[in-house]
Structure 1
Amino acid sequence: MTTPRTLTAPLDALVIGGGAAGLAGAITLARSRRSVLVVDGGAPRNAPADGVHALLALDGIAPADLVARGREEVARYGGDVVTAEVSDAAIEGDGFAVTLGDGTVVRARRLLVATGAVDVLPEIPGLAEHWGRSVVHCPYCHGWEVRDQPIGVIASHPMFTHQALLFRQLSSDVVVFTHGVDPTPEQRAQLLARGIGLVEDGVSAIRAEAGAVTGVELADGRVVPRSVLTVQSVLRPRIESLTGLGLTVAENPMGTFVPTTDIGGRSEVPGVWLAGNVTEPAAQVGASAAAGTMAGAQINADLVMAETAAAVAAM
């Protein structure tokens, strides 16, 4: 694996983030014979999960194995991947200068930002420790694995009803626990109609044994047995080190602010594309990979047109 210090600048493309979106974009660029480097901090959002589900032909693959395969494929086509943090990114002429944590500066003509997002959970004792295992958020990622179990829904986000109804498809034993969000009359009617329980006594802690959730402790000390909990996290896009790019952000329906793009991933900053959870919080692994592939193709096409225009001007 090559380090950034040995690469000849500028690269055709620098990919920031080496999850499904970033690696898929890098493979597309490398297969188009572009010089491409992936810089990844090594902290994928889905690391706590046992497996990636609803991913065609790879259902159940461990997140680390998926990343390892993706890195091998990038290398197969001549791309490079390094494990490093990005500390700063800036526009430099008609390209970009990205500073890594060790001070190395990597220059590139185009950027693909696929840094993902961080799940911000309600501050309930015992909740975060089981995130990705017996505390889940996505019925399509984890639902089959928790089917028919007693499921508890923590109502800490206005979208809790959406989660409750989707998990009700997977289990007949679903109970909503209010935690900062009170159901509207319409939501109460929906829960009642679908046979979903409602507990409004307040959540004080999550009970667990042998590394797995066993129940929800209420404010009065009572414990309601549950083996699975679901909660809507608030996703914070990982863009703190990219402020120098001047990305435009807007509120997402899921209640967070994310960088805006067009349908192909192009941002409002010329030369910068985004893909995956950094701009689409609801995207699963397959959708993130597809977005990365699309962004990689768009970047290559943009470079082709720029190179063609330069060649015509030089005639």
Structure 2
Amino acid sequence: MTEQLTTVGRGISLTYEQFGDAGGDPIVLVAGLGQQLHSWPTAFCEQLAARGYRVIRFDNRDAGRSTQMPFRPASLASIMRRRWPAEQYDLSDLATDTVGLLDSLGYDQAHLVGVSMGGMIAQTVAALHPHRVRTLTSIMSTTGARRTGRPALSTWRLMAARPPKTRQEAVDRTVRMFRHIGSHGFAFDEAWVREQAGLAWDREPSPAGTARQLAAIFRSGDRTAQLRTITAPTLVIHGDRDRMVHPTGGAATARAITDARLESIAGMGHDLPKDAWPTLLDLIDNHARPAGRPPATRSTDAATSS
């Protein structure tokens, strides 16, 4: 397992890693707002790959070691007033990046699993590029509808805090945030959170990308009508203790997508606690393994990544 960089079109390059047998059924894990590829824990990816999948995790644009956009981001106050630079992208652009990654890796189709903003991106891929998505799993995500799936006021206050200026400040802030939005029904692993926050700072310390991603969510608005066009078999997973994306977001997502199934995990907040992995892995695996469906095909003319 090593990080690789590949171009996905329109001047965007994405950093990614792969786990498991190269011939396994591909599952692409899409990270959330401001999160880097390692927000999908390595051991989680390895356990999913051990079930026979080729697991791909990657940095979205404006995260980690993928392309950082050159324009100055809007402030949180401006985003809330729906004011942002003319260059601001939206979720459809992030979805196109994800499809470009599939093209680069040579996959005609893949299972998509997205968490939070990653769920929104995966939903958008399934709506705009239905032939590329075998199954969709949307975790702790929402539709963009007003008053649905919104963060708690206490969460907004934490998000509005002054950006960290040092590695230590970034680590401490991340611990405060995940103590607040994390899974209060499961053990909190502060050492792991600190380790991951430090790694994120080392890979890309600027908060500008997170602000641009947040603006992309707001610019995309209410996507309920778009979600109604999704035809991929869909599983929606949400914790009942989520202070970042209220559980109403998961319920609205399941209502919007025809025949979607909603699974609520008691005690789970806006993270992936280790004690919940067995449940999450079983749900993802059982959803991605419908009886009688053949393995996804891998194109022989995939572009060479550099």
TM-score of the aligned structures, taking structure 1 as reference length: 0.30
Q: Which has the larger radius of gyration?
A: 1
* Structure with the largest fraction of strand: 1
Q: TM-score, normalised by structure 2?
A: 0.31
Greater share of helix residues, 1 or 2? 2
